[in-house]
Structure 1
């Protein structure tokens, strides 16, 4: 039996991991066997134009505009979800557009509210529940954010036909947090985006600022939970023993940026830190190739995409020893306590000084990348779709 599948693309490049993950899902959907699936790809913004041109599948622009921001985020919060879902098609044209496609299943890869706001058979995604597990960070708890996230994930678990999570740890956290049937949760681990390829050179090197000859790299937006400050503290601890130690950061300014700048000024280490701002995915390759190592001291998981990107480039990698990171990376990375500047400094010194260690980490990272890549991801998604669309699946 042939099935019709829809995919809904609503993210933009500045949204980071959500946009990358949506690209990975898009590629997997594009690779579905044509004799088994008809596919319609819907998108809401021009960021997807070039990517969608690379395949010959049906595409459809869905102009959510005003409706995305008002009823989806406000009105739907005041109406019972059953009532909202039964009536939204009457006054929201995008709902009618998607319903008219008569798909057997819609894939919403970016934790989209439309996974449950629209009365469609949906495969949704839960990337993390860190508002529950790390609520001390204001970006997931302050100014009503905690309640907003709770409503979102509760509705997603209630109404989605299936949910993909990043890891076994992520699956366990969803089951701990919400009422959801275990067979409805499907583990689909992150993969390095295809555009982070060990064979691909950056095309815009003239726009990239001059980098130091040797540096530790951390690509992350400056949210407090990303924990840039522990790298700064570790650098300060090592500056007398390793005077040429240098950090390079990329990412957009968020709620942790000003504090980080103040800390750097107080410690008088500004000459040892480079801020390169926002860097496009295709130019990120250059940073990974040039870096001595990538260190990611985040407090959030369960797993993350940047370590996979680094490994795909052969860049030695060290990460926070939290949640599902060992499940994700195994022996291909070093691990540290993200709360300990002394522990981070110890790993930083190892990476800076031990050529043999870095060579082994590079080798292990490339091996890890070959064992779980886009082709494996494609096959796993196909298996999940076959389960969700099977006659006995409820």
Structure 2
């Protein structure tokens, strides 16, 4: 009898990178699994069904244990669902191993061996970006990782942080890169599709592209000031296209656009359906990633895959990810951001060189290889 491996699918589609990460994992298993294990998708109702077998879990409002816990955590303004996930777990009793692509207390609560992915420890570096409630939740949920059979991360930077903050031995941590989701890996994008997206969003002939949620650490404000500098001091107009769901810094970003008189230069498109994203990349002159903190950036992999030059901040794991396939800048230095944007904007030869290096950097980052790596990880975790 095959061992049953459950893959948690709890991320909100509006959550950005974590949702894309989960999607890539499920698509890798769906298309390239060796069928050595029985794979079961454990999903919330809003998460799309990817695997052939799935279990849909719902909130369990009658669980007495959770009611007691809820009363305790309410004293701190924390919902128990933020910690454990108040779901009905009865259908999960036959699962042999849980894979949790999101940081969650659910695997620990249902008392099954589990593998957990950890993205970053941003709250340790920038506590001011989080409320007290958010920091408490992160401390508690991250500590669940200490009980995992194996922890997964996407960079050596995060691996070192796991060892430092969770005191996890090196042999229990694996670094494995997640490839772009399947909808990005579309090789036959037609001119018709590209023109349709261009007309749909009324896009300019050239623009830089920043797909990111509007969190404080995404550093939209300095990016806006950089293109303002290019406009005012160097008479160079750089159109900027922003996409992403409205998070806690959205209103401030929109206010800054108005204050800097960028309404005709910066366009916010909102949340974009998956099928339009490849064309938005392909139509852009470059991807810009000015974030103040990032473990690994999925948009950078997506840009490499779709042949788009990359501009990136030089923080955390991004130099490790980008290598020589992009231009790096100091995300705190507006002059440096502006300088790198200008270089890539005017130099077609440089853009072509970076595109080639990007392809070389991502050529082995495939869903097939990803599935093989994960099956090796599963085997190692089950032998713990």
Give the TM-score taking structure 1 as reference length.
0.86
Report the CA distance between 1:114 and its aligned residue: 0.9
Question: By how many angstroms is 1:12 displaced?
Answer: 2.7
- The corresponding residue for 2:83 is none
Measured against aligned partners, the alpha-carbon deviations of 1:146-205 in whole angstroms (never above 9, x if no partner) come to 122111111x22322211111111110011111323322111223211211251535983
Task: Report the counterpart of residue 21 of structure 1 in structure 2.
Answer: 21
Q: Secondary structure, in 3 states, of the residue corresponding to 1:294?
A: strand
For residues 71 and 21 of structure 2, what CA distance do their matches in structure 1 show? Answer: 26
Give the secondary structure class of the aligned counterpart of 2:8. Answer: strand
Q: Aligned pair in 2 of structure 1 residues 47, 3: CA closer, same or farther (>3 Å)?
A: closer
Aligned counterparts, 1:175-214, within 5 A: 175-201=163-189, 205=197, 208-214=200-206
Moved more, 196-205 or 258-267: 196-205
Equivalent of 2:239, from 235, 243, 246? 246
d(CA) in 2 for partners of 1:169, 1:73: 39
The offset of 1:322, in angstroms, is 0.9
Q: Deviations over 1:28-80 (max 9, x none)?
A: 3333212x21222222114313x34xxxx322222236479x9399539659x
Q: Distance in 1 between matches of 2:61 and 2:319?
A: 42
The 3-state SS of whatever aligns with 1:48 is coil
Separation (CA, whole Å) in 1 of partners of 2:62 and 2:300? 37
Distance 1:65 1:218, change over 3 A: farther
- Structure 1, 248-257 or 40-49: larger mean CA deviation: 40-49
User: How far apart are the structure 1 equivalents of 2:284 and 2:212?
Assistant: 15
Alignment partners' CA distance in 1, 2:199 and 2:357: 32
Distance 1:181 1:47 in 2: 33
Q: Aligned to 1:282, which of 275, 299, 312? A: 275
Assess, with a 3 A threshold, how the Cα gap between structure 1 residues 131 and 67 changes in structure 2: closer, same or farther. farther
Tell me the TM-score normalized by structure 2. 0.88
Hey, what does 1:89 align to over in structure 2? none
Q: 1:198·1:312 contact (CA, 8 Å) conserved in 2? A: no
2: CA distance, partners of 1:234 / 1:268: 13
- Secondary structure of the residue aligned to 2:312 is strand
Match of 1:147 in 2: 136
Q: Distance in 1 between matches of 2:43 and 2:149?
A: 21
- Where in structure 1 are there 5+ consecutive unaligned residues? 80-91
**Distance (whole Å) between structure 2 residues aligned to residue 40 and residue 319 of structure 1:** 37
Asked whether the 8 Å contact 2:5–2:96 carries over to 1, the reply is yes
Q: Could you say what the CA RMSD is over the residues aligned between the two structures, in angstroms?
A: 2.5
The answer for the alignment partner of 2:90 in structure 1 is 96
Q: Gaps spanning 5+ residues in structure 2: where?
A: 75-85
